[in-house]
Amino acid sequence: MGNTNFIKNEEARRKILFPAAIVIMAIMAVIGWKQCGYWKNSTTLFSHALRSTKDNYIAYDGLGIALLKEGKIEEAINHFKQAIHINSTHTNAYYNRGLSYLKLVNINLPFMIFNKSIKDYAPCYYHRGYAYAKIGKYQYAINNYNEAIRLKQDYTEAYNNRGGAYFKLQYNVPLMTILKPSV
């Protein structure tokens, strides 16, 4: 077998390949540094994903979650709506949009939205129960908390809020100071 080196002369290889490898590594370092900037936070990451892709419902949902955590509720809702528009079977976007409406205290919309996303997902039952409790329909709230507990036996928030709803049913005491949704 013969020598298969592209550059036969050892001295020429050192003078050409070594500097070329350094240049390539420097270029890769700059590209890597730039890519790391997109991972600064979730908002930056998902915004970049949306600029770089088309019809990415997961990126819309992820950006919506990031914006919701930043308190940009209406902007988050718009991203959840876009995710649903792209993929109407993506139940997480319905669920996240329902949470957003709860934060806006627009109490009628969460029921409709949680009903679309419920599919044996304990947090949907929990939050729908919370929404029912918020408007004084405590038996409906209890039913939803029960379902959340059936699906997730260690769901402490559901146990807590179910107890508060039972208390409200029996003693007719303002409950909103007790109930708090988890996100």
Which residues, at least 6 apart from 117, have a Cβ–Cβ distance to it below 8 Å?
A: 91, 92, 93, 94, 95, 98, 124
Q: Are residues 126 and 100 in the same domain?
A: no
Per-residue confidence (pLDDT) for residue 61, from 0 to 100: 94
Q: Are residues 164 and 139 in the same domain?
A: yes
Per-residue confidence (pLDDT) for residue 38, from 0 to 100: 57
Tokens describing residue 167: 């208390």
Q: Which phi and psi (to 5°) does residue 92 adopt?
A: -60, -35
Q: Are residues 90 and 123 in the same domain?
A: no
Per-residue confidence (pLDDT) for residue 177, from 0 to 100: 43
pTM: 0.52
How many beta carbons lie within 10 A of that of residue 67, not counting itself? 23
**Is 123 a domain residue?**
yes
Tokens describing residue 137: 């329909």
- CA 173 vs. chain centroid, Å, equals 35
Give the mean pLDDT per block of 10 residues along the chain (183 residues). 60 75 82 65 87 92 93 92 89 83 66 64 84 85 92 92 88 52 50
Q: Are residues 101 and 139 in the same domain?
A: no
Contact 100, 68 (CB under 8 A): yes
Q: Last residue of some domain: 77, 92, 109?
A: 109
Per-residue confidence (pLDDT) for residue 59, from 0 to 100: 93
Q: Are residues 128 and 78 in the same domain?
A: no
Q: Last residue of some domain: 61, 92, 109?
A: 109
**Is 47 a domain residue?**
yes
Q: Are residues 45 and 84 in the same domain?
A: yes
User: Rounded to an integer, what distance in angstroms lies between the CA atom of residue 91 and that of residue 63?
Assistant: 16
**Is 57 a domain residue?**
yes
E strand map for 1-145: none
Contact 123, 139 (CB under 8 A): no
Which residues, at least 6 apart from 114, have a Cβ–Cβ distance to it below 8 Å?
A: 94, 95, 98, 124, 127, 128, 131
**Is 24 a domain residue?**
no
Where do we find the tokens 């088309």? 54
Per-residue confidence (pLDDT) for residue 78, from 0 to 100: 94
Q: Are residues 125 and 96 in the same domain?
A: no
Instruction: Give the count of domains, the chain.
Output: 2
How many beta carbons lie within 10 A of that of residue 69, not counting itself? 13
Q: Are residues 101 and 138 in the same domain?
A: no
Per-residue confidence (pLDDT) for residue 82, from 0 to 100: 95
CATH code of 131's domain: 1.25.40
Q: Are residues 44 and 95 in the same domain?
A: yes
User: Rounded to an integer, what distance in angstroms lies between the CA atom of residue 124 and that of residue 158?
Assistant: 11
Show the domain range for 162.
Answer: 118-183
**Is 137 a domain residue?**
yes
Give helix then strand counts, H and E, for the chain: 9, 0
Q: Last residue of some domain: 109, 126, 144?
A: 109
Per-residue confidence (pLDDT) for residue 118, from 0 to 100: 65
Per-residue confidence (pLDDT) for residue 116, from 0 to 100: 62
Per-residue confidence (pLDDT) for residue 178, from 0 to 100: 46
